[in-house]
Amino acid sequence: MDILTVAYMAIGAHTALREATPEQIGALNDRQSGGEESSIQSVIDHAAMVDSLFDLHGYEDGVWYYDVAEPVGHWIALRRLAGDEPSANDVRQYALSQMGVSE
């Protein structure tokens, strides 16, 4: 797994969490989701799978880290802020859409 994929996914999640309202952060902390640390861990837990999509499909339309990894991390954090834990398949489908790949 590329450590930069992990880093940029975490950057995306961090951005989403910083843009959240105090009410959203409070609700995130009140749920069993574990708050900010758990949200970052959730993103990291998906990083190997997201990185494998690069290995499988490649990406030549821009910069993988900026165009795919960071937005995927942002999206996962937004979903968690909304009270939802995206499944691995949800994350995979979102990442593929960011890559412009349909399967």
Terminal CA-CA length for the chain? 22
d(CA 51, CA 61): 16
In the chain, domain spans: 3-99
CA distances from 34 to 15, 44, 87 (A): 18, 15, 17
Cβ-contact 39, 74 below 8 angstroms? no
Binned at pLDDT 50, 70 and 90, residue 33 comes out as: low
pLDDT in tens, 74-98: 999 999 999 899 999 999 999 999 9
pLDDT reported for residue 72: 98
